[in-house]
């Protein structure tokens, strides 16, 4: 916090690779310190936003079992991580202690996924988000205000496997995103979101006038409905552009994914100080780049989009590392940024990135080239764009859980 002018509403910690429990364990330690010393109460990770509701329900109320939560509450295979399991276990234990101590519900720790329900191979069906949004409104407003019935949505959605067909990721012709039914669903989703926004005062006040203690629960329900709304419209938009045949198709899809991330992060920051954890490429303030089967793509990252909205209330600390020997990433060359940091005696340390950039002057360190596609070194030319760097010298092989 001493690196920052003020406590940010959203503190982002990036990682240069996925799936390494050493980095996730460091994240866990940081979150515990932020909870105990800085009043942070929410952690958001690069995992599906709807699946994350399962984890949040467990850590706040104990619903389900830890095994079930790790199996159903994470996307991208992150539920197999021992460090993620330990995070969930610690958060639940903290909340139990808080409840036993008589602390208010507002003091509970919260968990969130902020990625869309997307994989690199496919996108989810919009069914869960769209029907949940419709169901929320149907129990709270008159049927004459609803733009359609639940049966109409079900008919237009059809079979879920047509939405999740993995062939559509590389072949736009296989996507149903521009079918007549999908286009009608986009219009209906827009009308449902407009109805949600237009009825917000009623949705908050319907029960709280008679039961003031219900107001926080009503707001919680409304926030969840807004998550369903963002996800439904985001998925329908994503599927629409999966059917695109232009050269900009993958650039647009990457940008839409990060836009969904940014919308979720801004919403989370609105309810209190939050730690966000994801790949550096999603949290950095500059554009992200990736080489895909269609060639190189470039888009504005979620971090850049969030910074444009929150300004100094957004802070970004990148993680850099020296070796991942089990992946063929050996000692970094001494003239690279990672090589300079590797020469320090500490196993891990925190670096003032703008100050380091000033010290290096007009001759920045050489860029490191990774022999493994799964690890992305830091760009030394963009050092000053970060608020700090956490450097981890060596990353040993992670242990996986023997449970889901």
The yes-or-no verdict on residue 401 having pLDDT over 60 is no
User: Dihedral of the CA atoms 150, 153, 155, 161 (nearest 10)?
Assistant: -120
Give me the mean pLDDT over the 85-113 stretch: 95
The yes-or-no verdict on residue 404 having pLDDT over 50 is no
pTM: 0.95
Q: What is the pLDDT of residue 400?
A: 59
pLDDT tens per residue across span 340-349: 999 999 999 9
pLDDT tens per residue across span 209-258: 445 556 677 899 999 999 999 999 999 999 999 999 999 999 999 999 99
pLDDT tens per residue across span 311-322: 999 999 999 999
Kindly tell me the burial class for residue 373, based on how many C-beta atoms sit within 10 Å of its own C-beta (0-12, 13-18, 19 or more). Answer: exposed
Q: What is the pLDDT of residue 103?
A: 87
pLDDT tens per residue across span 1-22: 999 988 999 999 999 999 999 9
Q: What is the pLDDT of residue 402?
A: 44
Q: What is the pLDDT of residue 240?
A: 98
Q: What is the pLDDT of residue 310?
A: 97
Q: Hey, what long-range contacts does 103-107 have (CB within 8 A, 24 or more apart)?
A: 105/216, 106/216, 107/41
The yes-or-no verdict on residue 357 having pLDDT over 90 is yes
Task: Place 398 in a pLDDT band, splitting at 50, 70 and 90.
Answer: confident
Beta-bridge partner residues of 123: 118
> Any idea what the Cα angle at residue 257 is, between residues 252 and 258, rounded to 5°?
100
Kindly tell me the burial class for residue 258, based on how many C-beta atoms sit within 10 Å of its own C-beta (0-12, 13-18, 19 or more). Answer: buried
pLDDT tens per residue across span 149-199: 999 999 999 999 999 999 999 999 999 999 999 999 999 999 999 999 999
Buried b (16+ CB within 10 A) or exposed e, 95-112: beeebeeeeeeeebbbbb
Q: What is the pLDDT of residue 214?
A: 62
Give me the mean pLDDT over the 103-129 stretch: 95
pLDDT tens per residue across span 251-298: 999 999 999 999 999 999 999 999 999 999 999 999 999 887 778 899
């Amino acid at each position: 916090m001493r690196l920052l002018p003020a406590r940010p509403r959203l503190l982002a910690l990036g990682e240069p690779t996925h799936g390494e429990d050493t980095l996730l364990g460091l994240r866990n330690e940081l979150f515990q310190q932020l909870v105990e010393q800085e009043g942070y109460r929410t952690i958001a990770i690069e995992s599906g936003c709807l699946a994350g509701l399962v984890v949040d329900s467990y850590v706040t109320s104990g619903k389900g079992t830890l095994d079930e939560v790790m199996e159903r509450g994470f996307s991208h295979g992150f539920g197999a991580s021992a460090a993620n399991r330990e995070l969930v276990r610690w958060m639940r234990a903290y909340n139990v202690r808080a409840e036993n101590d008589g602390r208010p519900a507002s003091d509970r720790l919260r968990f969130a996924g902020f990625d869309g329900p997307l994989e690199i191979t496919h996108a989810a069906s919009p069914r869960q988000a769209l029907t949940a949004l419709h169901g929320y409104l149907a129990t709270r407003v008159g049927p004459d205000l609803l733009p359609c019935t639940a049966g109409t949505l079900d008919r237009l959605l059809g079979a879920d496997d047509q939405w999740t067909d993995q062939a559509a990721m590389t072949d736009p012709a296989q996507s149903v995103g521009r079918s007549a039914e999908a286009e009608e669903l986009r219009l209906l989703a827009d009308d449902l979101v407009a109805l949600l926004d237009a009825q917000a005062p009623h949705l908050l006040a319907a029960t709280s006038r008679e039961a003031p203690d219900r107001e926080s629960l009503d707001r919680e329900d409304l926030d969840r409905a807004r998550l369903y709304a963002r996800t439904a419209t985001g998925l329908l938009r994503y599927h629409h552009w999966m059917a695109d045949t232009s050269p900009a198709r993958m650039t647009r899809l990457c940008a839409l994914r990060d836009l969904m991330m940014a919308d979720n992060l801004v919403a989370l920051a609105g309810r209190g100080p939050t730690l966000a954890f994801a790949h550096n490429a999603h949290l950095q303030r500059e554009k992200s780049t990736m080489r895909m089967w269609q060639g190189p793509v470039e888009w504005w990252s979620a971090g850049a989009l969030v910074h444009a909205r929150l300004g100094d209330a957004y802070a970004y600390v990148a993680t850099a590392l020296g070796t991942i020997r089990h992946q063929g990433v050996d000692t970094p060359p001494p003239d690279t940024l990672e090589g300079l940091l590797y020469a320090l005696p500490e196993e891990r340390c925190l670096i003032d990135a703008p100050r380091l950039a000033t010290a290096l002057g007009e001759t920045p360190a050489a860029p490191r080239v990774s022999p493994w596609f799964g690890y992305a070194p830091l760009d030394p030319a963009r050092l000053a764009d970060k608020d700090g760097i956490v450097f981890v010298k060596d990353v040993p092989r992670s242990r996986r859980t023997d449970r889901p």
